[in-house]
Amino acid sequence: MEIRNDKVYECKFIKKDGTEREMLFTLRKDLVPETKGNKRVLPDNLKTVFDLEVQDWRTINLATMTYLQEIE
């Protein structure tokens, strides 16, 4: 499933330390804070998203994602 900029998602993935993490995230402009931009280039398997529960940016490894469901 492609992660779209206009949706909210629930996901589960395996963190770097081997533990499973659940997250509610989005890239919707009306739900994320304004950013100044970032010139950091990530590999294709990594995606920066906004964690709605902790209200902060997180990077997830798409290769370790075990569950992804569109919520809105």
Domain range annotation of the chain: 8-32+43-70
pLDDT for position 65: 96
pLDDT for position 58: 94
pLDDT for position 24: 98
pLDDT for position 40: 82
pLDDT for position 69: 97
pLDDT digits 0-9 by tens, 6-54:
999 999 999 999 999 999 999 999 999 988 877 788 999 999 999 999 9
Angle at 11 between CA 8 and CA 30, to 5 degrees: 20
Residue with tokens 């629930």: 10
Q: How far apart, in Å, do the first and last CA atoms of the chain sit? A: 14
Q: Are 14 and 22 in contact (CB under 8 A)?
A: no
pLDDT for position 5: 94
SS3 call for 63: helix
Q: Are 43 and 61 in contact (CB under 8 A)?
A: no
